[in-house]
């Protein structure tokens, strides 16, 4: 039995580009292109990167909302990519997702009671007559008024709607929850409340999280480990403190330099030049070489592997960069 709850090996999720009257496929958008990562029971893995790097597509692929072109997703030792439909359905309860915009992800025609109990009803674990009691318990667990179960999404604030989304994910008692920018649409004070709620639920239920965000300061607070994604690939991965305080990859260093700090603290700001290449036609070799200040000819030819850096790196701190001598 593996020590990891979730393992992803060389996962690829591509979207076809179609043209012409007959919709011929002329290429692919390589949203996720060779991602390998793992999450242990009770662990929170933060996933960061620029918009369009493939974070959301990776999360949606893990829960089955997108189909993987290649690679392997293993949950508790079972290969989800090769499992039969019945096996995937049985395991899908254990993998849930909290989306970025709670107003769009909640059905406006359903009451809070119907929303948070729908999963259990569909799985055959809850009778309709027991929905009210189950909904009140879930609402209370996420810090909402249990008597508000008959209200509709538009009658709640943004933070309250996101709590309903958390309750919906929690209703089927999952082991793994993907939080896709779950706090980015909320006010800062509300963000802190939702983060604290997620951490409390993790401790109470032994949950594991994949916490997707572009805010490194939030990710550092909640995550045990951090994976940095660029143009469909993981370029750095390791313990949160090591990745933030001693980043190895030039892209990670640029992201860390953008974290807001007090005015009195002196910090060098790294500004990346150029645009992010198209995921439909990624550059050869290291995908970051078109914007990297340390790039050499070898970076344009060799595709770096995600591996430990020799000398002084924290255990489990990996980076995909061949310029170990200059960084």
- 3-state class of 120 per DSSP? helix
Q: Is residue 256 part of a domain?
A: no
How many Å apart are CA 288 and CA 284, to the nearest integer?
10
State residue 326's pLDDT score.
54
Range(s) of the domain holding residue 181 = 6-94+174-245
Q: Is residue 304 part of a domain?
A: no
3-state helix, strand, coil in the chain (%, to 5): 35, 25, 45
State the CATH number of the domain containing residue 183.
3.40.50.300
State residue 168's pLDDT score.
95
pLDDT higher than 70, residue 179? yes
Q: Which residue has the higher pLDDT, 66 or 91?
A: 66
- Tokens 């893995």 belong to 45
Q: Is residue 15 part of a domain?
A: yes
Please state the rounded mean pLDDT for residues 41-69. 93
pLDDT higher than 70, residue 313? no
pLDDT higher than 50, residue 28? yes
What's the Cα-to-Cα distance from 246 to each of 112, 232, 233, 250, 318, rounded to whole Å? 44, 23, 20, 11, 12
What's the Cα-to-Cα distance from 101 to each of 119, 180, 201, 211, rounded to whole Å? 19, 9, 20, 15
Q: How many domains does the chain have?
A: 1
Half-sphere exposure of 62 (CA within 13 A, CB side): 33
User: 307-308 and 233-239: which strand pairing?
Assistant: unpaired
How many Å apart are CA 112 and CA 150, to the nearest integer?
6
Query: What is the per-residue pLDDT across 235-290, written as a single tens digit (0 to 9) for each?
Result: 999 999 999 999 999 999 999 988 776 554 556 777 788 788 899 999 999 999 99
How many Å apart are CA 296 and CA 279, to the nearest integer?
22
Element (H, E) at 221: helix 216-222
Q: Is residue 179 part of a domain?
A: yes
Torsion of CA 125, 108, 191, 137, to 10 degrees: -30
- Answer whether 167's CB lies under 8 Å from 136's CB: no
Q: Is residue 138 part of a domain?
A: no
State residue 70's pLDDT score.
94
Name the average pLDDT for the chain: 89
State residue 117's pLDDT score.
94
pLDDT higher than 70, residue 148? yes
State residue 312's pLDDT score.
47
Q: Is residue 225 part of a domain?
A: yes
Of all residues in the chain, what percent carry a pLDDT higher than 90?
62
- Answer whether 232's CB lies under 8 Å from 53's CB: yes
Q: Is residue 108 part of a domain?
A: no
Please state the rounded mean pLDDT for residues 1-18. 90
Please state the rounded mean pLDDT for residues 228-235. 95
The region that residue 2 occupies, defined by phi over 0 for left and psi between -120 and 50 for alpha, beta otherwise, is beta
DSSP at 268? P
State residue 138's pLDDT score.
95
Query: What is the per-residue pLDDT across 197-225, written as a single tens digit (0 to 9) for each?
Result: 999 999 999 999 999 998 888 899 899 99
- Answer whether 61's CB lies under 8 Å from 24's CB: no
Q: Is residue 137 part of a domain?
A: no
């Amino acid at each position: 039995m593996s020590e990891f709850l979730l393992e992803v090996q060389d996962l690829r999720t591509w979207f076809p580009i179609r043209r012409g009257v007959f919709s011929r496929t002329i290429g692919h958008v390589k949203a996720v292109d060779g991602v390998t990562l793992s999450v242990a029971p009770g662990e929170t893995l933060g996933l960061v990167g620029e918009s369009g790097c493939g974070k959301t597509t990776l999360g949606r692929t893990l829960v089955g909302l997108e189909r993987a072109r290649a690679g392997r997703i293993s949950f508790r030792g079972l290969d989800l990519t090769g499992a039969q439909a019945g096996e995937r359905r049985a395991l899908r309860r254990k993998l849930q997702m909290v989306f970025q915009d709670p107003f769009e992800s909640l059905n406006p025609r359903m009451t809070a009671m119907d929303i948070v109990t729908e999963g259990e009803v569909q799985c055959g674990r809850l009778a309709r007559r027991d929905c009210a009691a189950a909904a009140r318990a879930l609402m209370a667990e996420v810090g909402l008024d249990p008597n508000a179960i008959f209200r509709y999404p538009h009658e709640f604030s943004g933070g309250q709607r996101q709590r309903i989304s958390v309750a919906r994910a929690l209703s089927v008692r999952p082991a793994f929850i993907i939080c896709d920018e779950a706090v980015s649409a909320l006010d800062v004070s509300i963000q802190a409340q939702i983060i604290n709620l997620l951490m409390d639920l993790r401790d109470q239920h032994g949950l594991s999280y994949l916490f997707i965000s572009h805010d490194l300061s939030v990710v550092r607070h909640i995550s045990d480990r951090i994976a940095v994604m660029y143009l469909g690939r993981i370029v750095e991965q390791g313990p949160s403190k090591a990745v933030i305080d001693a980043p190895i990859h030039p892209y990670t260093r640029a992201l860390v330099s953008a974290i807001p700090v007090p005015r009195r603290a002196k910090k060098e700001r790294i500004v990346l030049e150029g645009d992010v290449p198209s995921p439909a036609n990624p550059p050869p070799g290291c995908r970051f070489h078109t914007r990297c200040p340390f790039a050499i000819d070898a970076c344009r030819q060799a595709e770096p592997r995600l591996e430990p850096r020799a000398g002084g790196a924290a255990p489990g701190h990996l980076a995909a960069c061949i310029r170990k001598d200059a960084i």
